Amino acid sequence: MNITMIGTGYVGLVTGACLAEFGHRVTCMDLDVEKIESLKNGGIPIYEPGLDVLVAKNVKDGRLQFSTDMADCVPGAQAVFIAVGTPSSRRGGGYADLTYIYAAAKDIAVHLTDYTVVVDKSTVPVGTARQVRRVISEANPDADFDVVSNPEFLREGAAISDFMRPDRVVVGTDSEKAQEVMKKVYDPLFLISTPFVFTGLESAELIKYAANAFLAMKISFINEMATLCEEVGADVVDLAKGIGLDGRIGSKFLHPGPGYGGSCFPKDTLALLRIAQENGVSVRSVEAAVEINAAQKARMVKKIRDALGRNEAGKTIAALGLAFKPETDDLRESPPLAILPPLVEKGAKVRVHDPQAMEECKKQYPDFTYVDSPYEACEGADIVVLFTEWNQYRALDLAEMKSKMKGSVFVDLRNVYAPKQVIDAGFEYHGLGRM
């Protein structure tokens, strides 16, 4: 099939490269000339494990190309995906800015020739697919097309395997013809018996928000349980295991942490609440998840302060991890960047290390000291705080870290280490939801 991907951001580029790997001829289109030039020269604008190799391979094999011109790649495509950004609107309050979506729809419209399926891949409020359909029909009344909502469930850092082996594929459309085209797009997934959920447009749009809101709720729940565990002397890791083995609950997404971050959960929970409010419905469970997440970050500030004897002035914090999760350089809504600044404001100094996210962080937080290794971060530090569970932080030489430090406090916000192991290395241990 000929497929066009409009937007070469995170979702567009991963989806485009993976569809090329499925055997389709894919053109990734973006108005950003510099980005496209760089992609043509093998430059990958984001860090995502395996993406550089996948792009290079499919370009070499002639299945993946790049363009800045819709006239080049929309005519003759059987499916045109819209994967442009939907940033939070400057209006705030969970509104999404859909300018790029509608601009893309208008541009696509004038280049449509034969029957084409226009696929909404970006996460958009309920009702957007119908609006896209209206925009295209108005811009080109003769266009022969259908609109499909096909939300993505890619996790940063694991996006390629999530695409190649998804739990499910959701296809929202009221057209059988479009359904058949989408089956061809995802043909290799039928071989591995991937479940497909065919629904109407609105259901598909809402599924994406509901899935992310539910996962956010699960995280906020376990974070509250961690606080309760600390008070009653229970261990949240055992608790998560004990409840997670119940198949109705499931063991995934029950890891307490400094709060969820990233580009999806914070934005999508607010967007869901906005959609609910606009429709006169209150979704209190999700409201609570959002509030708990803000409180969790504030609680982490307090936890670190308490561990420093409630006096952070002049103290040095070694911070391990800046990205909101491992295997990404993404700093959006990253908890350490909400937790460290209030401590710096009170006079703490911060020495940070992250395997991927330091370059971007330097631009935003020039006052932190950036170092090349977790051990260097510990030099002269009073306290070490593990924020992100990168694999390279899972087997640190704790004794070596301790030997470089002035103080001896270890705050493990991801429960990576067994408390005894840390204590045996000479540290005072503070985990989440455990003694």
Among positions 185-224, residues that touch ligand UDX (CB under 6 A) are: 212, 215, 219
Answer whether 381's CB lies under 8 Å from 351's CB: yes
Which of 74/319 has CB closer to ligand UDX? Answer: 319
Q: Mask: binding to ligand UDX, 305-344, rule CB under 6 A, as x and -?
A: -------------------xx-------------------
Residue 34, C-beta contacts closer than 8 angstroms, at least 6 positions apart: none
Answer whether 349's CB lies under 8 Å from 315's CB: yes
Per-residue buried b or exposed e for 33-50, using 16+ beta carbons within 10 Å of the residue's own CB: eebbeebeeeebbbbbee
CB of 374 to ligand UDX, least distance (A): 18
CB of 254 to ligand UDX, least distance (A): 6
One of 7, 262, 355, 431 touching ligand UDX (CB under 6 A):
262
Residue nearest to ligand UDX (CB): 264
In a 3-state reduction of DSSP, which class is residue 186?
Answer: coil
Which of 136/289 has CB closer to ligand UDX? Answer: 289
Enzyme catalytic residues: 264
Does position 152 interact with ligand UDX (CB under 6 A)? The reply is yes
Does position 255 interact with ligand UDX (CB under 6 A)? The reply is yes
Residue 95 φ then ψ, to 5° = -70, 140
In a 3-state reduction of DSSP, which class is residue 69?
Answer: coil
Q: Where are the beta strands (DSSP E) in 64-151?
A: 64-67, 79-82, 116-120, 145-149
CB of 216 to ligand UDX, least distance (A): 8
Does position 370 interact with ligand UDX (CB under 6 A)? The reply is no
Does position 86 interact with ligand UDX (CB under 6 A)? The reply is no
Residue 196 corresponds to which amino acid? Answer: F
Distance CA 232, CA 249 (A): 23
Which of 102/221 has CB closer to ligand UDX? Answer: 221
CB of 57 to ligand UDX, least distance (A): 24
Stretch that binds ligand UDX, among 16-24, 148-156, 172-180, 277-285 (CB under 6 A): 148-156
Q: At what angle do helices 265-278 and 284-307 cross, to 10 degrees?
A: 140
CB of 409 to ligand UDX, least distance (A): 22
Q: Tell me which residues touch ligand UDX (CB under 6 A).
A: 152-156, 212, 215, 219, 253-255, 257, 260-262, 264-265, 324-325
